[in-house]
Structure 1
Amino acid sequence: MSVLTVENLGKSYRMMANAGPRTHFGYRTLRDDVMAWLKAPLRWFRRDAGLPPQDFWALREVSFSVNQGDVVGIIGHNGAGKSTLLKILSRITKPTLGEIRLRGRVGSLLEVGTGFHPELTGRENIFLNGAILGMRRHEILKKFDQIVEFAEITQFLDTPVKRYSSGMYVRLAFAVAAHLEPEILIVDEVLAVGDIAFQRKCMGRMREVGRSGTTILFVSHNMPAIESLCTRAILLDHGKVALDGGVGQIVQEYHRRVLSGPGEVVTDLRSLELPSRVYKVFRSATLLDEKGQPTNFLQVGGRFHIRLVLDAPVPVESPVVTLGIDDQIGQRLLSLQTPLTNPVLPRLQQPGTLDCIVEALPLAPGEYWIKLGFAGVPDEIDEIERGVRFTVTEGELFGSGRGHHRGVCIAPSQWCFEPS
C-alpha cells in the first residue's frame, strides 16, 4: 500500500536580475531596501538594469511513490534538490506545482533549528512535537523516558533548547522523531553533526524503526550508510529524478556521475591549522590512478597510490610516516607505515616526495578518509586526522571478477568443491 505519492512536483524561487546576494531569491531586508534607495540613481547605468526577474527551479517534474515499510535513500550532488524535496514532504515549504498525498503521521529531522521552539525547554519541546504529530499526552508519556535516555540530555531537560549545543540539539531532535512512532520518518543528513558514537546509535535505531514497518526517507552523502540501511534509492540530478531503483544500482550510477565530474584532486595541506601540527611537514597529498593521474576515485581491488610532498623546517632523524584509512564514522580499517628496518627515509632534511603503493586495495565500495602522521624519534611532529578523502567504487578484486561487494574489507580467498 502506498503511503506517499508525489506527482509532477515542482518548486521555483524568484531570482532578482539586479539584486545583491541577500536578494538572490527575492527576499529583502530593511538594510537591502535602504541600500537600494541609496543606489537608485546609479542603477540605470548597469547592464542588467530593467531585466525581468527569473525563476530558478529547485525541483521540476518529480514523481514517485513509496509503499508502507519501504526504506528509501535519496541521493545526489549538492544542489540537486534533496533538502528542498524533504522540506516539501515535511510541509515546511509549499510546492509551486504538483501534488503530494501522504497517509499517516510524518516525523521529520531536517537541519538544526527546524521543528523546535528555541524558548521552550527540552521537556516542553518533546510534548510539543508529539502534539504536532497528533499524539495524546499519555501516548507521549509512554515514550518520554526512552527519548530522554536516547538523547543523553537528562541534566539539561529543563533548559531552553536555544542554549543547547548543535550536538545536543540533534540528539534530542532525532530521539523525538524516531521514538514518537510516525508512519513516515524523514531524515536529512543532519546526523553528521553528532559524534561518531551517536551516529552509530542513530543508524541502529533507524534499522529498528525500519523493521517495525515505518516508512523512512533518508538523505545522505554517506553511501555505505545508504547501502546498509536502504533497499531502494532515488537519484536526483538538477532537480529531477534521474534514476529510481535498487540501492546498489543507483549508488553505482551516483559514483559514476561524480567520477566523471570535476573535483579537487590535490589536497593542499600547507594552510591547514591544527593543534596536532607542531611543524607543517605535510605540504600536499595526491591520490594517483593506474595511469599516474590525480584522482579521488579508486576501484575495489585496484591500485592505491598516494604521493606526499614533505618539507621539515629542521632536519628530522629516523622519521616514520603513517597512513590510517578510516571509514566515515572514524573506524580504522587499514594502517600503513614506512618500514622501521631498511628505512626509505633515514633522514628528512630537504623537501621531497614520498610515494606509498598498495597493489590491490582490499576496501569495499564507500567513502574513506586518510589520516596522515609524521613522527621523529621520539615525538609526533605532524598529524592530520582527516587529511584526504576518497571514494572506492565497484571493481574486479584479485582476478575473481567484478561483483557487488559489501562489508568493510575484502580478502583474497581460495574455493574448492568436491562432490560427495
Structure 2
Amino acid sequence: MSVITVENISKQYIIDHQRGKGVNTLRDVVAENFRQWFGRGKQVESGLTREEFWALRDVSFTIEQGDRVGIVGHNGAGKSTLLKILSKIIEPTTGSVRIRGRVASLLEVGTGFHPELTGRENIYLNGSLLGMTRSEIRKHFDEIVAFAGVEKFLDTPVKRYSSGMYVRLGFAIAAHLDPEIMIVDEVLAVGDAEFQKKSLGKMRDVSTSGRTILFVSHNLTAVQALCNKTLFFEKGRLVEQGETNQVIQSYLSKVSKTRLARQWDTPEEAPGNDLVRIRRIELIPEYPDNTTHIDVRTPMRVRFEFWNMMERANLNLSLHLNSLTGECIFNVGTQSLPYGKGLIAGECLIPGYFLNDGSYTISVMVVKDTVTPLFQLEEGLTFDVEDYREGVAWYGKWPGYVRPQFRFEMEALEEVPAK
C-alpha cells in the first residue's frame, strides 16, 4: 500500500538582488513602496532585480508502507525542501502530495520545542502536536527519557540543553510516539557515534512494525545500513530512484570530482555570517618524484583562511576529513587563542603514507570558546588519492581508510634443522 504519493511537485522561490547602493533614503523607501503597490506587477527600473529559483522541479515518486527510504544528493539539491513539503511546513508551487498516516518530523535541532518549557513539558507538547492523547504519551514517557539520556535535566528548560541533548530528546519523542511515517533530516550527525548507532537501530525496529522511514544523510554508510530504497536528487530534480546500493554507486560515480582550492575575494561574497566569513581553503600536495597526482605517498597541507568580524574572541579551527560516504576519518583541532578583527589562517599537515587510496572531503569549522561552532564549511574540498605499491605483488583492493607504515617486523625464534 502506498503511504506517500508525490506527483510532479515543484517549489519556486523568488530571490531579490539589489544593484548599486540600493534604497537608502526616506524618499527611496516611499518610491519603492509606491512601485510595489501601484506598479501592477511590472518590472520597474528601481535597482531591484528578481530571480526565479526552483528548489524542486517536476518530482514524482511513491513510497510503500514499511519502506526505509534514503534521500541523497549535494547540499542544495532540494532534499530538505522536499522534507518540508512532506511535513506540511511549506506548500509546493505546483503538483500534489498525498500522505496516508500520521507524520513525525525531525528536520533540525530543536524542531517543535518551546525553549522556555522543560524537557518534560516538551515531551507532552510534541506528543500533542502528533495527535497523541495524554495517556498515550504517559505510556511511552519512561522509554523516551531513557533513550534520550536526559533524566537529570528533565525539569530544566530546553533552552539550556546542548545541541546533542536537543537532538537526542527530539529523536526519542519522534521514534517512540508511534507515527506511521517518520521523517529524519541530517540532525543525527549532531549526536555522538553511540547515539547514531542506537538511533539507526531504533529506526530499523520502527520499520519492521510496518511504519515508514524517510532519512536524509550525507553519511552514505548509514543510508546503506538502514534503507532498502534511495532517491538521488541533483539540482532540484530526482535523477534516480531504486535499490539503495545501486543508487549510491551511481551517486558516488557522479560526485567524485577533485577540487583542491576555493577562494572568495571579499567578505561580502564569502560564505559565513556576521561573525566569521571564509576567505580561502586550499589543499597543497607535495608531489613525490615529479608526479602530478596525489597518491598514498603524498604529504599534503590544508590551509584555511577566514575573516574574523568580532572585536575579541577565543577561536580555534576544527578540521574533519571524511570519506566520500560521509564517515569521519579523523577530526583535529587547533589550540583556542584570543583574536581580534582581521584575517586569520590555519594550516594542517597530513603526512604521506597515511591515507589509503580513495575519495575524500575536507570540512572546516570555526569554533568559539572551544564549544560554540560559529560556521562550518561543509565539503569545502574534495580530492582523490591514487594507489601506489612498491615491492608488493598483490594488487587487490587494500582494505581500510588509512594505510600507515608502522614498524612491523618478523624474526625466526627457532630454526628446525633440515633432515
Q: Tell me how many residue pairs correspond in the alignment.
A: 319
Question: Which residue in the other structure is 1:4 paired with?
Answer: 4
On the 8 A contact 2:181/2:213 being kept in 1, the answer is yes
Matched, 1:91 2:83: no
Give the counterpart of 1:61 among 58, 66, 79.
Answer: 58
Post-superposition offset of 1:101: 0.7
Q: Deviations over 1:103-140 (max 9, x none)?
A: 11111111123211222221111112112222221111
SS at match of 2:137: helix
Question: Which residue in the other structure is 1:182 paired with?
Answer: 179
Give the counterpart of 1:356 among 352, 356, 359.
Answer: 352
- In 1: Cα distance, 2:49 partner to 2:354 partner: 57
Give the counterpart of 1:156 among 148, 153, 156.
Answer: 153
**Share of identical aligned residues, percent?**
47
Question: Which residue in the other structure is 1:264 paired with?
Answer: 260
Cα RMSD for the two superposed structures: 4.4
- In 1: Cα distance, 2:283 partner to 2:80 partner: 34
On the 8 A contact 1:304/1:360 being kept in 2, the answer is yes
Closer, same or farther: CA 284–360 of 1 in aligned 2, 3 Å: closer
SS at match of 1:191: helix
Question: Which residue in the other structure is 1:304 paired with?
Answer: 296
Q: How does 1:129-148 map to 2 (within 5 A)?
A: 129-148=126-145
Question: Which residue in the other structure is 1:230 paired with?
Answer: 227
SS at match of 1:119: coil
Question: Which residue in the other structure is 1:205 paired with?
Answer: 202
On the 8 A contact 2:288/2:298 being kept in 1, the answer is no
- In 2: Cα distance, 1:129 partner to 1:406 partner: 45
- In 2: Cα distance, 1:287 partner to 1:391 partner: 14
Post-superposition offset of 1:13: 1.1
Q: How does 1:367-382 map to 2 (within 5 A)?
A: none
Counterpart code for 1:161: V
Which segments of 5 or more consecutive residues in structure 2 lack a partner in the other structure? 36-43, 264-281, 303-319, 331-348, 364-377, 388-393, 404-419
Counterpart code for 2:58: E
Post-superposition offset of 1:326: 7.9
Counterpart code for 2:195: F
SS at match of 2:201: helix
On the 8 A contact 1:222/1:367 being kept in 2, the answer is no
TM-score, length basis structure 1: 0.64
Closer, same or farther: CA 151–257 of 1 in aligned 2, 3 Å: same
Post-superposition offset of 1:306: 3.2
Q: Deviations over 1:356-414 (max 9, x none)?
A: 348975xxx886889xxxxxxxxxxxxxxx99987889x9xx6569xxx999899xxxx
Post-superposition offset of 1:102: 0.6
Q: Deviations over 1:10-61 (max 9, x none)?
A: 111122243799xxxxxxxxxx9x85747559999xx963666332111110
Post-superposition offset of 1:235: 0.7
Question: Which residue in the other structure is 1:71 paired with?
Answer: 68
Q: Deviations over 1:240-277 (max 9, x none)?
A: 101111111211121122124x633699xxxxxxxxxx
- In 2: Cα distance, 1:190 partner to 1:354 partner: 29
Counterpart code for 1:198: F
Closer, same or farther: CA 359–181 of 1 in aligned 2, 3 Å: closer
Give the counterpart of 1:214 among 206, 211, 216.
Answer: 211
SS at match of 1:233: strand
Closer, same or farther: CA 67–287 of 1 in aligned 2, 3 Å: farther
SS at match of 2:124: helix
Counterpart code for 2:300: L
Post-superposition offset of 1:73: 0.6
Counterpart code for 1:304: V
Post-superposition offset of 1:167: 1.2
